[in-house]
A and B are shown apart, each in its own frame.
Chain A
Amino acid sequence: METQDNDKQEFNITVYTENQIGLLNRIAIIFTRRKINIDSLNTSPSEIESIHRFNIVITESEEVVRKLTRQIEKQVEVLKVYYHTNADVIWQELALYKVSTDVIAEKVSVERLLRENGARVVVLRKDYTVFETTGHREETDNLISILQPYGLIEFVRSARVAIIKDSEGFNSKLREFERLEPGEDVIENEYLNKGQKVFTM
């Protein structure tokens, strides 16, 4: 069966879109109708003005991810969809931690804590301190467990942002989209590309 748990891994789905109200919902329901949890979702501008970029992280088998990307790419306002494993992207998440300044100052070697966790102080007040760290999930998780014993007041982590390692940017693709004729690359697939190990569809 296609959805055996042991086939599942994290995939980073990158979606280039027009900026259109309602598109977030249109994309989200492609996951929710299959009862797939979205682990992380970030929308941002892309390297091209007026083109939006979604970064979506889900844990699924590649076969399911491929079907999802095709269904996303089918949406009228979606220009292009790519999916990648964690190994194929550079990715970061940002986390903020609020702790009591008294406790921290008294009980923790703040300097060591900052150095060892690549963290920095964003706000330092008499009553509380806010640390920030950026990194992979394990790194931001690690700082939680370190601060938890000292009464972590508040914690928040951002969605994941990811840059595709072997991407050459979307500029040339966009020019192709602006032409009238149908595109070549929507028909790439694992059958024709079996020799080339190409990941796009």
Chain B
Amino acid sequence: MEAQTITQEVSEKAAAPAKSPTTEVSGSEALLEALIVEGVETIFGYPGGAIMPIYDALYDYSEKLNHILVRHEQGGIHAGQGYARTSGKVGVVFATSGPGATNLVTGLADAQIDSTPLVCITGQVFAHLLGTDAFQETDVINITTPVTKWNYQVTDATEIPEVIAKAFYIAKSGRPGPVLIDITKNAQIQKFDYAGYTKCDHIRSYRPKPIVRPQYIQEAAELINSAKKPFIIWGQGVILGSAEQEFKAFVEKSGIPSAWTVLGAGAIPTNHPLNVGMLGMHGNYGPNVLTNECDVLIAIGMRFDDRVTGRLDKYAKQAKVIHLDIDPAEIDKNVKSTVPVWGDCKETLPMLTALVDKKEHTEWHDKFKDYTRQEVEQVIHRELNPTTDEMTMGEVIKQLNEITKGEAIIVTDVGQHQMVACRYAQFNNTRSNVTSGGLGTMGFALPAAIGAKFGAQNRTVVAIIGDGGFQMTCQELGTIMQSGIDVKIIILNNRFLGMVRQWQELFNSRRYSFVDIESPDFVALAAAYRIPGKVIDDRKDLPSALHEMLNNKGSFLLEVMVTKENNVFPMVPQGCSVSEIRLK
């Protein structure tokens, strides 16, 4: 297909230009003007040859745009993700061509699968060098196509305002996702008559959300009202749609027990009486077992990930399924729905709430309570109140809850500590659980915590990281040092790659293949970056150490030595049904 500049699809009512019309600007200046109109305050980035003109222009914009110099582009994009998750705004990331751009790929994949709105700007070699294997040239558009919601290469500066407007609109509308704009160096330098920046609010070929049909709502409400054992499972869609209030109203009127996916945590508080716990492989006992007992399953803004469903052909087969989602491609993808409610849940939930009967479902709730009692007896009590000498991850989280009272943002990496933190951390507020869900990216937490704090500067941000994951992106301690950002870091050190070790113990006859990981002196490492820290291995020091960390002005690293061979339970073993969940 031949080249064609994209057509103007912008609305006239959108924001006024910051620069007066018909000024001559460079492509780089046009980009930065666009970011300002889009309300961008913070950029995470790393300069390099092919993005130098943009950085040169940025030199004059440093009062309006706060650029955070990261230590690796992967750190930059995870910071952008953390920022987007806590602020609800679009995360913006700059990187240069070639290795700068390829270093973004893990973060793009993570943002794509977890629906995180990002706009990434990459520099590219001069347009006339494209395809010649020029220095630091890589085919970024094709490399990133599978892991972006949209991407586009700009080779002419005049395209920049319109392309950036589209980028922001696409990143944040409908089901959000990452967008990458690759700008050749000549386009960054090229001057053109700038007619101002207009925000985009419509693209002909793009339907961010389907129209809501009352017919669906009616059918769904009838099913819910006739249900004896209805069960709500919700995901991040509730948070992404800013529908927490609408969701709470629906849950409270219908009285239906409600459980969450990892990314849905916090949409209603952890201690809400209708919140029955976490779903999935390491979720709570009742929510998993009773998924296979409910008569109507109401899935809201979640996508039936295999870590949630376990064995699909034995998942909720007895139930009629109502699936509310903004993305038509998710309906019937993994679980066949009886009534698909396609639409934005901020619109569909109030319509549904209006039609459902007010109920209590007391007996049905008692079943959940009974499973909770069993889980507390057999798993939770021991994890949170251990009698062994060594500390457990769970008791660290419990102590943290007691001090933060559930008000902190918890950023986790991937592995055992992540599951323990999600299971036991108290979330009073939405946008408080930042973790890598779908992609399971080790190394996510430290940079994401930096971004999370920039996105919510008046909140406490606590990063909880394993000894393995911390070593994947610990160079970002440099970013903390230089930016002076206040991030509390807890390393739960079990001297193992714990989750893989757990699987090797349970399923590979304890053949511990390459999971025994040595660590540096983390406190000394932090000290090298002028970040204070402490290591503890005695339970009696835990409360005071946590207080010291939280009361410290600025970042602090607390390393907690925990028991080496602890397993996360309950567990739905891979390939098993959710009813086959194990307590030990």
A contact residues vs B (CB 8 Å cutoff):
1, 17-26, 29, 33, 43, 50, 52, 66-67, 70-71, 73-74, 76-79, 177-178, 180-184, 186-187, 189, 191-192, 201
Contact = CB atoms under 8 A, between A and B. Distances in A.
B337 A191 contact: yes
Interface of chain B: mostly helix, strand, loop or mixed: loop
A20 B205 CA distance: 12
Nearest to A78: B205
Interface stretch (B144-152, B371-379, B480-488): B144-152
Contact of B329 (A18, A20, A70): A70
A106 to B, nearest CB: 45
- Candidate in B4, B209, B313 with the most chain A CB atoms within 10 angstroms: B4
A80 to B, nearest CB: 9
Contacts of A187: 210-211, 213, 216, 328, 342-343
Given A187-B213, A201-B328, A52 B1 contact: yes
Contact of B204 (A19, A71, A177, A192): A177
12 contacts: A20-B6, A21-B4, A25-B145, A29-B145, A70-B329, A74-B329, A78-B205, A182-B211, A187-B213, A187-B328, A191-B337, A192-B216
Interface string B155-174: 00000000000000010000
Contacts of A26: 145
B328 A67 contact: no
B3 A21 contact: yes
B207 interface: yes
A189 B331 contact: yes
Contacts of B7: 18, 50
A55 B201 CA distance: 30
Nearest to B338: A191
Contacts of B338: 191
A22 B141 contact: yes
Nearest to A28: B145
B531 interface: no
Contact of B142 (A17, A25, A183): A25
A42 B208 CA distance: 27
Nearest to B208: A182
A189 B338 CA distance: 11
Contact of A23 (B1, B207, B208): B1
A44 B129 CA distance: 29
A186 B204 contact: no
B209 A177 contact: no
B469 interface: no
B329 A67 contact: yes
A76 B328 contact: no
Contacts of B333: 67, 70
Interface string B275-308: 0000000000000000000000000000000000
Interface in B472-520: none
A70 B325 CA distance: 13
Contacts of B150: 76
Contacts of B205: 17-18, 76-79, 177
Contacts of B202: 180
B2 interface: yes
* Closest 7 pairs between A and B when the two form their complex, measured CB to CB: A70-B329, A182-B211, A79-B205, A187-B210, A76-B150, A76-B206, A187-B342
B252 interface: no
B170 A191 contact: no
Contacts of A1: 313
Given A29-B145, A183-B207, A187-B342, A19 B329 contact: no
A22 B151 contact: yes
Interface in B2-38: 2-4, 6-7
Contact of A191 (B204, B207, B313, B340): B340
Contacts of B329: 67, 70-71, 73-74
B332 interface: yes
Interface residues of B, number: 43
- Candidate in B4, B149, B206 with the most chain A CB atoms within 10 angstroms: B206
B316 interface: no
B583 to A, nearest CB: 31
B1 A181 contact: no
Contacts, number: 96
B146 A29 contact: yes
Nearest to B344: A182
B52 to A, nearest CB: 25
Nearest to A33: B146
A201 to B, nearest CB: 7
A96 B338 CA distance: 50
B2 A19 contact: yes
A74 B327 CA distance: 8
B388 interface: no
Given A21-B153, A186-B207, A187-B343, 14 more contacts: A1-B313, A18-B7, A18-B205, A20-B6, A22-B142, A26-B145, A33-B146, A76-B150, A77-B205, A180-B202, A182-B211, A186-B342, A187-B211, A191-B338
Contact of B203 (A19, A23, A76): A76
B215 interface: yes
A178 B204 contact: yes
Given A76-B150, A191-B339, A184 B328 contact: no
A154 B103 CA distance: 46
Interface in B329-377: 329, 331-333, 337-340, 342-343
A120 B151 CA distance: 46
B328 A73 contact: yes
A24 B1 contact: yes
A18 B213 CA distance: 28
Contacts of A181: 211
Contacts of A183: 207, 210-211
Interface in B125-151: 141-142, 145-146, 149-151
A7 B131 CA distance: 43
Contact of A76 (B149, B209, B211): B149
A79 B204 contact: yes
A81 to B, nearest CB: 11
Contact of A182 (B201, B207, B332): B207
A21 B149 contact: no
- Candidate in A19, A33, A43, A50 with the most chain B CB atoms within 10 angstroms: A19
B4 A19 contact: yes
B38 to A, nearest CB: 18
A19 B1 contact: yes
Interface in B443-462: none
A161 to B, nearest CB: 16
- Candidate in A33, A71, A187 with the most chain B CB atoms within 10 angstroms: A187
B211 A21 contact: no
Contact of B328 (A21, A186, A192): A186
A22 B204 contact: no
A18 B149 CA distance: 16
